[in-house]
Amino acid sequence: MNQIEIFAPGSVANISCGFDVLGFCLDPIGDIMRISKTKTPGVSIGKVTGQDLPTDPEKNVASVAAMALLKETPTEFGFQIDIEKKIKPGSGIGSSAASAAGAVFGINQLLGAPYTNNELIRFALAGEAIASGAAHADNLAPVLLGGFTLVRSNKTLDVIKLPNPSELVATVIHPNIELKTIHSRAILKPTIPLNKAIEQWGNLGAFVSALYTDDYDLLSRSMKDKVIEPYRAMLIPKFEQTRQAALKSGALGSGISGSGPSIFALSRGMQTAKKVGEAMADVYKKLDLKHQLYFSKINTQGIKILSQL
Amino acid sequence: MNQIEIFAPGSVANISCGFDVLGFCLDPIGDIMRISKTKTPGVSIGKVTGQDLPTDPEKNVASVAAMALLKETPTEFGFQIDIEKKIKPGSGIGSSAASAAGAVFGINQLLGAPYTNNELIRFALAGEAIASGAAHADNLAPVLLGGFTLVRSNKTLDVIKLPNPSELVATVIHPNIELKTIHSRAILKPTIPLNKAIEQWGNLGAFVSALYTDDYDLLSRSMKDKVIEPYRAMLIPKFEQTRQAALKSGALGSGISGSGPSIFALSRGMQTAKKVGEAMADVYKKLDLKHQLYFSKINTQGIKILSQL
């Protein structure tokens, strides 16, 4: 195999109750990446469309991740990465994770898959780190493993794939402002009240239990964030109003997607998810704020291979 | 039915990664409580053996819990509670929870069970509150529901019963010092570092997942506490040494039981649990510190009815 074309999907991290540890994978939103073997060793960024990304391999998330893999498994040939970037950087749905995960996934395939997808997370993390200012696998894990994932430890990269209640559909609304993860991290306090932390881990434990038992009511009661959201909400126009609009329209839960500014909701069934999306969009329409709206089943596969030759 | 005799078991709260939310129920350690109808309305404390407990109904955990139930469901008759108190107060294995849960369980039975065991938690909490200085259901929940439990919210008492990997056996060692929950709460800081909180909820999520998947290795990796234990360990003689002795002898995990001073370990199978117990006891033997050692399968039933007439 000399070339592979893949679909590297977006993802939603945190899911309200699981800051830095929970995430799920989106289905219809993602980048197209073509990775081709080259004669010269090393990694180069080829054609980039859709967004203005660095072409310096030391600065591009995809190539930095790729080089981390090739440092451990050197090759006598090299790789060129072409990217149709459809996920906007700074939108809060794992733009850098898609690039980093896509690059290592594609190269791993071209090498005959010496690594499992779980093992690829640590290479992708090198790319993620230059984008977000801190190495977190909460977006990478769902892109590489699919479905819902939990990062037990960001230090040791102990990552678990969780089950996926089949009726869940995500709504994601992206107001057209760019919010860099590095900035939305800076607003957080280094300490949190113990009583809020207890609420948060009670909710996280219940959320995980609800995924195993298909308990949509419990899922709904668990999707709360009293720790991070109060700070980050300040950076997102009409966050609380949009969230409330989602809940009133039947969403099980709603919160900031990753570090924002996108806002996600989880609903039971596509019909409710669409109604929820309309209600969220109405808030931004009244503001004349441009936005994109996505509906997505949970992508249990993660990255998809489009073609290979 | 005019009289019921029950076994109200001890319990282990927190389980390292789930401060104030996780707990499991012990099997061979517990109080015997006899609850009898009386002609005069109200609740009285009758014969108490084993420990020196208050007989003033306003001050005894069992009667305070009982009165909370009877306030909502008044009766024309009353109740006398006799207690063979076998769980030492201040030992860290849910002494007050056993009394409070036992009282409301017994009275509920004598009334024809108008409440589910889950509903009884809120009445029992009134008793628990006078003992521990704060109302937490993390010991009450496993006693009333059996097995492993998660308190999603201590405010709304949203309590979930979790599955029980069948090979788990608990070892509990109780050094003979009394540690009041109210004191071991006072040592805690009102805020915690965000990065430690993230580790804690990552571990809690993984622990819950491990219970559903019988993943003993993951269970072992998850049983960590960097938030509470470092403070409370100071109040327990040779805590870290005893914990390490347990781990070296094959325990999956070990930590402070509830607010201490008891230390618990979870192991796979009774044989390992006994080996673990011997290693823990050796630490205290060298100190000439008196202690009790218990081995217990997870009690999936909770309170047991011994007799009724």
Task: Judge whether A8 and A299 are in contact, CB under 8 Å.
Answer: no
Task: List CB contacts (< 8 A) between B141 and chain A.
Answer: none
Contact B198 A158 (CB under 8 A): no
Residue type at B78 in one-letter notation: G
A307 in contact with B, Cβ within 8 Å: no
Q: How many CB pairs under 8 A join A and B?
A: 121
Task: Select from B153, B191, B206 the Cβ nearest to the Cβ of A199.
Answer: B153
Task: Select from B162, B194, B208 the Cβ nearest to the Cβ of A188.
Answer: B194
Q: How far is CA A276 from CA A159, A168, A237, A256, in A?
A: 31, 13, 18, 15
CA distance A202 to B107: 30
- Which single residue is written with the structure tokens 């994770």? A97
Q: Before A190, cis peptide (omega within 30)?
A: no
**CATH 3.30.230.10: which residues of chain B?**
3-162+299-308
B217 in contact with A, Cβ within 8 Å: no
Contact A152 B21 (CB under 8 A): no
Nearest chain A residue to B163 by CA distance is: A209
ipTM, two decimals, is 0.95
pLDDT tens, residue by residue, B162-172 = 999 999 999 99
The CATH number of domain A3-162+300-308 is 3.30.230.10: yes
Q: What is the DSSP string of B220-244?
A: HHH---SSSHHHHGGGSTTHHHHHH
In tens digits, chain A (309 residues) has pLDDT values of 899 999 999 999 999 999 999 999 999 999 999 999 999 999 999 999 999 999 999 999 999 999 999 999 999 999 999 999 999 998 999 999 999 999 999 999 999 999 999 999 999 999 998 877 777 999 999 999 999 999 999 999 999 999 999 999 999 999 998 777 778 888 889 999 999 999 999 999 999 999 999 999 999 999 999 999 999 998 999 999 999 999 999 999 999 999 999 999 999 999 999 999 999 999 999 999 999 999 999 999 999 999 999
Contact A199 B22 (CB under 8 A): no
pLDDT tens, residue by residue, B170-225 = 999 999 987 777 788 888 899 999 999 999 999 999 999 999 999 999 999 999 99
**CATH 3.30.230.10: which residues of chain A?**
3-162+300-308
- What is the structure's pLDDT at A135? 78
Task: Judge whether B217 and B242 are in contact, CB under 8 Å.
Answer: no
Just list the catalytic residues of A: 128, 181
The residue-averaged pLDDT of B280-303 equals 96
Q: How far is CA B178 from the centre of its chain?
A: 16
Q: Residue A242: which residues within 8 A CB-CB, separation 6 or more? A: A173, A254, A263, A280, A283, A284
Tokens matching residue A59: 């600065």
- The CATH number assigned to the domain with range B3-162+299-308 reads 3.30.230.10
Contact B199 A153 (CB under 8 A): yes
C-alpha dihedral sign at B184, B185, B190, B196: positive
CA distance B11 to chain A (A): 19
pLDDT tens, residue by residue, B68-95 = 999 999 999 999 999 999 999 989 999 9
Contact B205 A208 (CB under 8 A): yes
Nearest chain A residue to B160 by CA distance is: A206
Contact B206 A20 (CB under 8 A): no
Phi-psi region of A214 (alpha: psi -120 to 50; beta: other; left: phi over 0): left
Longest dimension (CA), chain B: 58
Tokens matching residue B114: 């108008």
**CATH 3.30.70.890: which residues of chain A?**
168-297
Report which of B45, B130, B68 is spatially closest to residue B95, judged by C-alpha positions.
Answer: B130
Best residue in B198, B204, B224 for a mutation probing chain A (most A CBs within 10 Å): B198
CA distance A17 to A219: 10
A207 in contact with B, Cβ within 8 Å: yes
Is the pLDDT reported for residue B134 higher than 80?
Answer: no
- What is the structure's pLDDT at B60? 95
| Predicted TM-score (pTM) of this structure | 0.96
CATH superfamily name and code, A168-297 = GHMP kinase, C-terminal domain (3.30.70.890)
Tokens matching residue B36: 């009898």
Report which of A255, A308, A239, A250 is spatially closest to residue A274, judged by C-alpha positions.
Answer: A250
